[in-house]
């Protein structure tokens, strides 16, 4: 139970017995619980209600207060193994209750180990997205409200420093991999040596390419002796992943392997075949016909989401529209997630950022306007509806060229989808409206162009070429259907990799390099020219800036003019001028600049290529040009006082004697790496030892203080009052932080005694007492339903505050 000290004083007579008695009883209960867990027979599991499971009182009460009574299939199979400490590889359909399947064992296993603040981090829960991490954290808050563990959410969006200060004291952390690793590498006070459990929710996504190396690095920081739980809706038993996470004889807990379909039976799944240029018409007509529904529409990129959202918003379909994609600020994303969860009828346009794990209540329709990259993504997307025994419908839009390939992929994953047709009579064309809007509003047109480009790129980078066939797409008509006057020109990178590009959306997809010739040629025809296209096509680009003309017009400009003339014949992207010497920058005569040979140059710098307006401007600023000047050289002196370069070239013959250059290079790199690793290890060990010493000292101090306090109050001066504990709001207030009561009353005399000053909670600011007590009272009434954060700020405060 949550050890909340009430501050009540007992008479000297009663003092000696109360606390030790209670402690003894608790110890006995705990021993019983440990025994019961040992006795669990996982093969004959008949635990169909939480009440029948051997659970601690705080967890049982938390589950009951959150209205969880019966176990779902994955919980029936997973929780007993989890309680017994086994590693788990869990797979179950979307919406089948996997979150509790790992949260219950987390709380219970730490509880049975008598985990306290002083023991540090006990469980680490990794989630691939921030939204999912927040959702897991909220469920943890609910069911863990009567525990005294401290729990935190580490998802970025807060300053590293702010999180850092609180991180050291957390028992359970829910986090995204990137941010966690950042702390592990940079936060000295963060320790995971004691970690007991590692959980990966949506494990397959976390083990996906984008996260692989991050997860590897995180795991390196964790102790090998730990329990590891992996859960996902679409999991494979990839041996390499298991080895990487050092799972020990994992229990394969799968509740849909034998099922005929990989998706919930309450989900009705259909697909329609529609040419790309008609997609938006159909989507629009669909929305108009379903104004009283909650609809989630998936697109393959954020830019499409933005364009369709903006365009449809202007056209007012009659249903509230929202949009969500990875480029929005975290606070905005949270806000939209909450709003969409709360509404009954609305439509959310989104990317795959919400495809996994998010538990929006009562979604009626999941529409996949763009074909998912694979069958797993399909399963996760449709899993946003038909959750926990509810009904739901999903419709996949397929381009004729995608139909055969995608259906094959779905079949391989035991996903059964039925074809339906669109009623032509009800289909409304919005092409003209969109064209009109794009014509009037250049911003919208710009969004449309971006949307077009990102769609084409998304198809190009797909790995499954049996499904995605860029050359078969009617791109010109598609661009017209977006309201654009022509298909924008697109350039692609050579040999780009689908997943790494998808996982690095912020990485600019450079347009330099080589193009996809066929498509490019196709697209170049009738291409819409952007501001930049026009800029590069300007015929008078090579007209010198005034400043530069003056600079070179110093009597002897024949050379420059010659260069200029030669360049004029080149293509528009060719180099117009080269300034190749610092002296010209310093304003010395251009003649010098142009006639100096490389042998003459002492402080040679990389040639400055003047091929754009920006660079021409640069010529006007001496300060900026100075940056291009060669910096001074570092020399080292030998014992005789002769100067040497830091790295001097050795004699070639000598060099060759030591073997071929690549092998020497490899050797050098290996040696350097080893040197760095050794140094790093030593640093880490020293830092750890220091921290450990500090922690030991702190523990000893706190123990001494606790003991002397106990002695002072007389043994057992403060007692536990179970019913009131809950009201006092152990976990209710601050997650799982314990608090001391304020309004303590002396039992004997009924006299009010000054309350021990309690620690300020995350939701409190410096309010007056009255306001605080009102606040406190309000929360008391909320103890059963668990107060939800009302605003984004509340949630933010909660996220950061619980780290304290
Ligand atoms: N034992 C239970 N009794 C009643 N409702 C439950 C139970 N377990 C889970 N739920 C509810 O079912 C819904 C889905 O649960 P959860 O989010 O854990 O599913 P999931 O399997 O993780 O889904 P996904 O694969 O999409 O992440 C939630 O709304 C949750 O509150």
In whole angstroms, what is the distance from residue 342 CA to residue 423 CA?
32
Enumerate residues 6+ apart whose C-beta is below 8 A from 793. Answer: none
Whole-number pLDDT of residue 543:
39
Asked whether the beta carbons of 572 and 540 are under 8 A apart, the reply is no
Whole-number pLDDT of residue 400:
95
Q: Is 78 in the pocket of ligand 1 (CB under 6 A)?
A: no
CATH of the domain at 65: 3.40.50.300
Residues of the chain short of pLDDT 50, as ranges, are 1-14, 495-526, 535-605, 711-793, 795-804
390 Cα to the center of ligand 1, angstroms: 11
User: Are 344 and 383 within one domain?
Assistant: yes
User: Is residue 366 in some structural domain?
Assistant: yes
In whole angstroms, what is the distance from residue 452 CA to residue 449 CA?
5
Q: Is 70 in the pocket of ligand 1 (CB under 6 A)?
A: yes
Exposure b/e, 615-630, CB count within 10 A at least 16 = b: ebebbeeeeebeeeee
Q: Is 340 in the pocket of ligand 1 (CB under 6 A)?
A: no
User: Are 477 and 344 within one domain?
Assistant: yes
User: Are 426 and 477 within one domain?
Assistant: yes
Enumerate residues 6+ apart whose C-beta is below 8 A from 673. Answer: none
Whole-number pLDDT of residue 209:
61
User: Is residue 33 in some structural domain?
Assistant: yes
**Which pair of structure tokens corresponds to residue 569?**
């014949």
Q: Is 98 in the pocket of ligand 1 (CB under 6 A)?
A: yes
Overall number of domains in the chain: 2
End position of a domain, from candidates 254, 278, 313: 254
Measured from the Cα of 75, ligand 1's closest atom is: 1
User: Is residue 774 in some structural domain?
Assistant: no
Whole-number pLDDT of residue 425:
76
User: Are 245 and 289 within one domain?
Assistant: no
Asked whether the beta carbons of 364 and 71 are under 8 A apart, the reply is no
User: Are 238 and 284 within one domain?
Assistant: no
User: Is residue 572 in some structural domain?
Assistant: no
Domain that holds residue 236: 24-254
Q: Is 383 in the pocket of ligand 1 (CB under 6 A)?
A: yes
End position of a domain, from candidates 203, 223, 254: 254
Q: Which of 64, 99, 253, 337 for a ligand 1 pocket mutation test, highest count of atoms within 8 Å of Cβ?
A: 99
User: Are 278 and 345 within one domain?
Assistant: yes
User: Are 190 and 302 within one domain?
Assistant: no
User: Is residue 425 in some structural domain?
Assistant: yes
Whole-number pLDDT of residue 121:
92
In whole angstroms, what is the distance from residue 757 CA to residue 741 CA?
9
End position of a domain, from candidates 465, 481, 497: 481
pLDDT per residue over 15-74, tens digit each?
Answer: 555 666 777 777 788 888 999 898 888 776 678 899 999 999 999 999 999 999 999 989
User: Are 232 and 105 within one domain?
Assistant: yes
Whole-number pLDDT of residue 91:
86
Asked whether the beta carbons of 93 and 256 are under 8 A apart, the reply is yes
Q: How far apart are the first and last CA of the chain?
A: 21
User: Are 209 and 309 within one domain?
Assistant: no
User: Are 242 and 298 within one domain?
Assistant: no
Whole-number pLDDT of residue 531:
52
pTM assigned to the model: 0.58
Q: Is 99 in the pocket of ligand 1 (CB under 6 A)?
A: yes
User: Are 232 and 278 within one domain?
Assistant: no
In whole angstroms, what is the distance from residue 561 CA to residue 557 CA?
6
User: Is residue 454 in some structural domain?
Assistant: yes
Say if strands 365-368 and 294-298 run parallel, antiparallel, or are unpaired: parallel
User: Is residue 799 in some structural domain?
Assistant: no
Give DSSP secondary structure letters for 624-649: HHHHHSPPPPPEEE-TTS-EEESSPP
User: Is residue 363 in some structural domain?
Assistant: yes
**Which pair of structure tokens corresponds to residue 74?**
């994955």
95 Cα to the center of ligand 1, angstroms: 5
Whole-number pLDDT of residue 436:
92
257 Cα to the center of ligand 1, angstroms: 19
User: Are 157 and 287 within one domain?
Assistant: no
């Amino acid at each position: 139970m949550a050890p909340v000290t009430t501050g009540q004083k007992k008479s000297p007579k009663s003092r000696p017995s109360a606390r030790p008695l209670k402690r003894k009883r608790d110890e006995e209960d705990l021993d019983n619980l440990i025994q019961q867990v040992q006795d669990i027979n996982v093969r004959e599991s008949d635990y169909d209600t939480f009440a029948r499971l051997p659970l601690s009182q705080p967890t049982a009460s938390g589950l009951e207060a959150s209205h969880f009574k019966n176990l779902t299939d994955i919980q029936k199979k997973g929780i007993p193994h989890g309680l017994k400490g086994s590693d788990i590889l869990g797979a179950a359909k979307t919406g089948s209750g996997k979150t509790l399947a790992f949260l219950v064992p987390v709380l219970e296993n730490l509880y049975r180990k008598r985990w306290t603040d002083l023991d540090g981090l006990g469980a680490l829960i990794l989630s691939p997205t921030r939204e999912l991490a927040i959702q897991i954290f909220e469920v943890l808050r609910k069911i863990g409200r009567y525990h005294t563990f401290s729990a935190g959410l580490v998802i970025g969006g807060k300053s590293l420093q702010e999180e850092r200060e609180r991180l050291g004291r957390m028992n359970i952390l829910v986090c995204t991999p990137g941010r966690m690793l950042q702390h592990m590498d940079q936060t000295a006070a963060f320790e995971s040596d004691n970690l007991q459990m590692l959980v990966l929710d949506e494990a397959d996504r976390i083990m996906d390419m984008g996260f692989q190396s991050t997860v590897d690095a995180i795991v390196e920081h964790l102790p090998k002796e730990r329990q590891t739980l992996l859960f996902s809706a679409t999991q494979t038993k990839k041996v390499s992943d298991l080895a990487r996470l050092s799972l020990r004889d994992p229990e394969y807990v799968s509740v849909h392997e034998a099922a005929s379909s990989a998706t919930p039976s309450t989900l009705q799944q259909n697909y329609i075949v529609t040419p790309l240029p008609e997609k938006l018409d159909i989507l629009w007509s669909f929305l108009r016909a379903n104004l009283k529904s909650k609809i989630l529409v998936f697109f393959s990129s954020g830019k499409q989401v933005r364009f369709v959202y903006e365009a449809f918003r202007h056209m007012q379909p009659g249903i509230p529209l929202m949009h969500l994609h990875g480029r929005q600020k975290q606070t905005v994303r949270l806000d939209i997630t909450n709003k969409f969860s709360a509404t009954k009828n609305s439509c959310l346009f989104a990317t795959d950022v919400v495809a996994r794990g998010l538990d929006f209540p009562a979604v009626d329709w999941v529409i996949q306007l763009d074909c998912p990259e694979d069958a797993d993504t399909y399963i996760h997307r449709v899993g946003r509806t038909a959750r926990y025994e509810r009904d739901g419908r999903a419709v996949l839009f397929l381009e004729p060229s995608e139909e055969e390939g995608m259906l094959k992929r779905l079949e391989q994953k035991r996903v059964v989808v039925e074809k339906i047709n669109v009623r032509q009579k009800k289909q409304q064309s919005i092409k003209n409206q969109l064209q009109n809007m794009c014509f009037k509003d250049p911003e919208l047109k710009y969004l449309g162009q971006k949307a077009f480009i990102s769609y084409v790129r998304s198809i190009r980078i797909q790995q499954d070429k049996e499904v995605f066939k860029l050359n078969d797409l009617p791109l010109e008509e598609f661009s017209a259907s977006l309201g654009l006057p022509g298909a924008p020109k697109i350039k692609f990178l050579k040999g780009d990799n689908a997943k790494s590009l998808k996982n690095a959306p912020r990485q600019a997809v450079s347009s330099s390099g080589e193009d996809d010739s066929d498509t490019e040629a196709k697209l170049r025809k009738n291409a819409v020219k952007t501001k930049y296209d026009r800029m590069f096509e300007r015929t008078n680009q090579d007209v010198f800036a005034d400043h530069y003309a003056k600079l070179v017009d110093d009597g002897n400009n024949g050379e420059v003019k010659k260069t200029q003339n030669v360049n004029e014949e080149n293509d528009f992207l060719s180099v117009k001028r080269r300034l190749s010497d610092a002296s010209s920058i310093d304003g010395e005569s251009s003649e010098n600049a142009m006639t100096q040979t490389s042998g003459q140059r002492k402080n040679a710098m990389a040639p400055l290529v003047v091929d754009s307006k920006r660079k021409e401007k640069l010529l006007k600023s001496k300060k900026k040009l100075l940056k291009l000047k060669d910096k001074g050289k570092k020399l080292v002196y030998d014992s005789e006082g002769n100067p040497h370069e830091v790295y001097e070239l050795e004699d070639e013959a000598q060099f060759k004697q030591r073997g071929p250059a690549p092998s020497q290079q490899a050797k050098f790199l290996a040696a350097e790496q080893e040197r760095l690793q050794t140094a790093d290890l030593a640093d880490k060990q020293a830092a750890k030892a220091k921290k450990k010493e500090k922690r030991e000292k702190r523990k000893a101090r706190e123990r001494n203080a606790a003991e002397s306090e106990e002695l002072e109050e007389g043994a057992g001066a403060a007692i536990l009052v179970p019913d009131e504990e809950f009201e006092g709001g152990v976990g209710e207030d601050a997650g799982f932080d314990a608090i001391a009561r304020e309004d303590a009353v002396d039992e004997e005399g009924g006299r009010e005694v000054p309350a021990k000053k309690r620690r300020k909670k995350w939701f409190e600011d410096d309010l007056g007492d009255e306001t605080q007590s009102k606040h406190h009272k309000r929360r008391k009434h909320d103890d059963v339903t668990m107060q939800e954060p009302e605003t984004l700020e509340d949630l933010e405060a909660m996220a950061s505050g619980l780290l304290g």
